[in-house]
Structure 1
Amino acid sequence: MTIEPPAPGEPRRPFGPRDPGDAWVVAPDGARYWGRFGAAGLLALDAEKGVLLQHRVSWSHFGDTWALPGGARHEGESACDGALREAQEEAGVPDAAIRPRLLSVFDLGYWSYTTLVGDVVVPFDPEITDPESRELAWVAPEAIVERPLHPGFASSWQALEPLLGLRPAVVVDAANVVGSVPDGWWRDRAGAASRLLDRIAVLVATGIPSEAVELPAHTWFPEWVVAVEGQARGVEAPDGVEVVEAEGSGDDAIVAATSRLVAAGRTVTVVTSDRGLAERVTGAGAAVRGTRWLLDLLP
């Protein structure tokens, strides 16, 4: 593998000094891949409009094809951050408009491309904000193959399209989880619930492995719903976590939340070691994992 800077007329940052990541990686067979530290792109999915695609200018690598907004990662930058930054630079995707759903990595060992699949939670109109785009468009998933696609995106789209209908969610029986660890929760139930929420917030940012939720092999970012009851009610919900406060039975609140998510098309996993509750949520269409499953995932 060798590293080459961009040649005249090839992709580079449109404004300011060139980033060290803006270079070609040359494979042993002579093939070239953009991004010294790898590359990343965003597959933004709007439930009403479709997938956001970029029509690449003719002078770019595989020019005049359609692909995802994306580009070279910066040194030390996570793939998720890189995909969102590139989408903002190339298509004007606003901050907080995307909720990550999964990361899919194509890794050659010496170079990798990561696709962030994210759901649009704040609708927006894309803007051409750099010279690498001829056009930006929302395209219905079933119509994507009708366009001339960048070969890398064409290959990944075959694997990603079947995943667009999978939306995992995890519902946590907070009382059952905190009660399984002797950390003084009985003296401060609100504090114990708050500590659990803070640890779950880390998983919101990092995602969880596919085997944890028995989904295809990618890093997944489930929707997190945590049910609290009794003295734990009133705890503050961190970003990315929905807190359900049980007015009466905590089990009833968990079953209701599970049924709501299943009806919305989510693939739901409920975390509890309560056998009676496990039977009820299984009947509602969810999978069940014991508290140890979550504790092993938590930082």
Structure 2
Amino acid sequence: MTAGDTLPPPFKGPRDPGDAWAVGPDGTKMWGLFGSAGLLAVDRTRGVLLQHRATWSHFGGTWGIPGGARHEGESAVDAALRESHEEAGVPAEALEPLFTRVLDLGFWTYTTAAAWATREFEPSVRDHESLDLAWVPVDEVDRRPLHPHFGEAWPLLKAMIGHRPRLIVDAANVIGSRPDGWWRDRAGAAARLLEELASAVDAGLPADLLGMDAHTAWPDTVVVLEGAAKTASGTEAPRLEIARALRSGDDEIVARVESLLKNDGGAPVTVVTSDRGLRQRVEDLGARCVGAGALRKVLEGVQAD
């Protein structure tokens, strides 16, 4: 189902507690006691996966994305993956997360989870909630009669699904932002930072850190090490690259920014540093900057969780 559904589906089998109405202070009813979520699956060759909604549903006959009510204790991303598999046979292992965006009405939320397909797969109608499923080219989506709430969100979603955001971390500056004795063991401090970043990137970062109008994002991240920190142990994880600068870390970061902006035009590039000189250099190229403290705050939140 999609944001704004006001009719429950006919059920088969036992219900989860989440398969119930959420009622707002003004009496408005939205389906999904714990909120709802949907999957915006993107095949960069064929387009986005759309669901032609069953006629019995609210705004029946329109096109939206597969989704439905979250189960009790279920994350929004897990709900989107489960619902899209139940309704359209979407294999979770063929997707990699891109971002989530949340519509929050106070008493109820709807989360759009966007993901890139890592291989081709064919969706299939698996229940009564779909009339049809189709891969629709991105530029043709708004030619179809869209569910009104999806139609409202589509221009912003369209602008974000074409490129994965990029994050470049000035490790020396981030490490030096906290007086925890890093100067006694720069490689050890760098290894701790790499471990923290691997966990954070895997879980997803706050999208506002990357300048995105979304909730959570999964950027391609490069951590630039220089000097004694280059010997730090650390395993490159999905979407996390370790760059050991041959010369200065600043020059390596500037070169990375130049390359990304030249070869992947449209992808937002954010550099984490509080160094004024470096900030000026990368901002002159068109990248945005956030301070080391902003990233530290995110990492500390991940550790607390």
Task: State the TM-score bracket (shorter-chain normalisation).
Answer: 0.7 to 0.9
Contact 2:99 2:214 in 1 (8 A): no
How far apart are the structure 1 equivalents of 2:145 and 2:186? 57
**Equivalent residue pairs, number:** 289
Any gaps of 5 or more consecutive residues in structure 1?
Answer: 1-5
**What secondary structure sits across from 2:115 in the alignment?**
strand
Cα pair 1:98 1:119 within 8 Å, conserved:
yes
Report the Cα offset of residue 294 of structure 1.
1.7
- 2:206 equivalent in structure 1: 208
Q: Which residue of 1 aligns with 2:289?
A: 288
Aligned match of 1:103 in 100, 105, 127? 100
TM-score (norm 2): 0.81
Structure 2 counterpart of 1:296, which letter?
K
C-alpha distance after superposition, 1:202-234 (max 9, x if no partner): 432142142x33433644433322122344354
* AA aligned opposite 1:95: A
Number of the residue aligned with 1:254? 253
CA distance in 2, matches of 1:30, 1:183: 53
Change in Cα spacing, 1:73 to 1:235, as seen in structure 2 (3 Å) is same
Query: Percent identity, aligned pairs only?
Result: 52
Comparing both structures, which one devotes a greater share of its residues to helix? 2
1:75 and 1:99 mapped to 2: Cα distance? Answer: 24
5+ long unaligned stretches in structure 2: 1-6, 301-305
User: Could you tell me how far apart the structure 2 residues matched to 1:52 and 1:35 are?
Assistant: 22
Q: Distance in 2 between matches of 1:156 and 1:289?
A: 27
> Distance in 2 between the 1:155 and 1:282 partners?
32
Q: 1:69 to 1:217 in 2, by over 3 A?
A: closer
Question: Normalization by structure 1: what TM-score?
Answer: 0.83
Q: Secondary structure at the match of 1:298?
A: helix
User: Pairwise mapping of residues 266-281 of structure 1 onto structure 2 (< 5 A)?
Assistant: 266-281=267-282
Aligned CA distance change for structure 1 residues 159 and 177 (closer, same or farther; 3 Å): closer
Q: What is the SS of the residue equivalent to 2:50? A: strand
Q: Is the 8 A contact 1:194 1:236 kept in 2?
A: no
Measure the CA separation in 2 of the matches of 1:158 and 1:287.
23
The residue correspondences of 1:120-131 to structure 2 (distance < 5 A) are 120-131=117-128
Shift in Å at residue 39 of structure 1? 0.3
Equivalent residues of 1:233, 1:245 under 8 A apart: no
Question: Take 1:248 and 1:233, find their aligned partners in 2: how far apart are those partners?
Answer: 16
Query: Would you say the 8 A contact 2:191–2:233 is kept in 1?
Result: no
Q: Which amino acid aligns with 1:180?
A: S
- List per-residue Cα deviations over 1:44-68 (Å, max 9, x = no partner): 2222211111122333443332110
